[in-house]
Amino acid sequence: MDPRYEELARGLTGFSVNVKKGEHVLIDAGGIPEEMVIALVREVRKRGGVPHVSLRNERVSRELLIEGTNDQYGADNAWELFRMKKMDAYIALRGSGNVFETADIPSEKMKMYSKKMKPTLDYRVKKTKWCILRWPNPSMAQQAKMSTEAFRDFYFNVCTLDYAKMKPGMAALKRWMEKTDEVRIKGPGTDLRFSIKGISAIPCGGQFNIPDGEVFTAPVKDSVEGTISHNAPTVYQGVAFEKISLTFKKGKIVEATGSDTKRLNQILDSDPGARYIGEFAIGFNPHIREPMGDILFDEKIDGSFHFTPGQAYEEADNGNRSQVHWDMVSIQRKEFGGGEIWFDGKLIRKDGVFVPAGLKKLNREALL
């Protein structure tokens, strides 16, 4: 067994979900080596937990979705929710051979499925200790424009990073955000204002997603005004989008354009909440520098922020509810055009680099 599998399994079970004696842990795996699943099973047992395993196949999942019915999706949710209620912790590892495997599933099917499965998702997020990560394979290496071997090395460097180093800087950023009223973001094609007054800020340093490295909050729902242009490509519901631009009035997206404007607006019309923002987050993982079309990596890009149409998280809740939660990423480092983030008239980050002394601990050179 690759010793990095064991190192990652120890981090996931020990640090990320912190398995305790007697806790039931669901390992939800698809497209990953058997040895990695075995490493997780062994580590859960070493910590006194009870492992359970679910194995998935993306092509089979597509086949179930593409001709699925309301009754089928409802039954799927019923038994998935029943099982989830038996679990104390959830670890998901997914390796996709084709990130566009669901691209030809009709949007109404995806909308129906998301709506039916939302109770299971809500329970997992709110009631279990959970962590989600992708698995390195040639498909991901292609997305990252890297060789398979180089990408695997990059992946394990990112996923086994000493996330404890982030804690002091994240605590400082949390304090800044929780005392802030107005946020202003400037950059190419972007001039955006909104309030985050009274909404909690949540540090994320390796306990829910791997890779990690962000602090998130949410805008006051009706406070967003202006325009934002995202320079990182994004994949949502199996469809690729680029150059997304959103215009807001009183918190609502009133105009949305991009490389696939029609599909973009279909998703934003999924329900009323999809045209309001449920999350604002600042990313700072020092190893992740380029977008690769995988949101678990892209939303943590060093020098980035993401702005999320759809559902707000309960921990930083602005009241917005939706079946959509779409993290759209903008990178503000100089080589991507630069940009600024201001809190109540004070410059917080310029061209992807934190300016206040307490926040410099989140800059790349401090974390590596």
Question: How would you write 255-308 as a 3-class SS string?
Answer: EEECCCHHHHHHHHCCCHHHHCEEEEEEECECCCCCCCCCHHHHCCECCEEEEE
What is the average pLDDT value for the chain, to the nearest integer?
Answer: 94
Q: Which residue has the tokens 């690729």?
A: 240
- Over residues 252-260, mean pLDDT: 98
CB 44 within 8 A of CB 18: no
pLDDT on residue 120? 95
Q: What are phi and psi of 110, to 5 degrees?
A: -65, -40
- Over residues 92-101, mean pLDDT: 85
Which pTM value belongs to this model?
Answer: 0.78
68-72, 170-174, 290-294, 313-317: which is most confident:
170-174
pLDDT on residue 161? 86
Q: At what angle do helices 3-11 and 34-46 cross, to 10 degrees?
A: 50
CA dist., res. 157 & res. 175, Å (int): 29
Per-residue pLDDT of 31-75, as tens digits, reads 899 999 999 999 999 999 999 999 999 899 999 999 999 999 999
Res. 368: pLDDT tops 80 = yes
pLDDT on residue 23? 98
Per-residue pLDDT of 111-158, as tens digits, reads 899 899 999 999 998 899 999 988 888 888 888 889 999 999 999 988
Strand-strand pairing, 304-309 and 328-331: antiparallel
CB 223 within 8 A of CB 194: yes
Strand-strand pairing, 190-195 and 202-204: unpaired
pLDDT on residue 134? 86
- Over residues 330-356, mean pLDDT: 98
pLDDT on residue 15? 86
The secondary element (H helix, E strand) that includes residue 66 is: helix 58-66
pLDDT on residue 95? 86
Q: Which residues pair with 306 in a beta bridge?
A: 281, 329
Residue type, 59: R
Strand-strand pairing, 252-257 and 190-195: unpaired
pLDDT on residue 361? 96
Res. 99: pLDDT tops 80 = no
Domain ranges across the chain:
3-159, 163-367
CB 363 within 8 A of CB 353: yes
CA dist list (Å): 23 to 90, 179, 186, 296:
11, 37, 46, 26
pLDDT on residue 80? 95
- Over residues 14-33, mean pLDDT: 94
Q: CB count, 10 Å around CB of 162?
A: 10
pLDDT on residue 226? 98
pLDDT on residue 100? 82
3-159, which class in CATH?
A: alpha beta
Angle (CA) 162-165-166 rounded to 5° is 110
pLDDT on residue 234? 94
Per-residue pLDDT of 166-211, as tens digits, reads 999 999 999 999 999 999 999 999 999 999 999 999 999 887 888 8
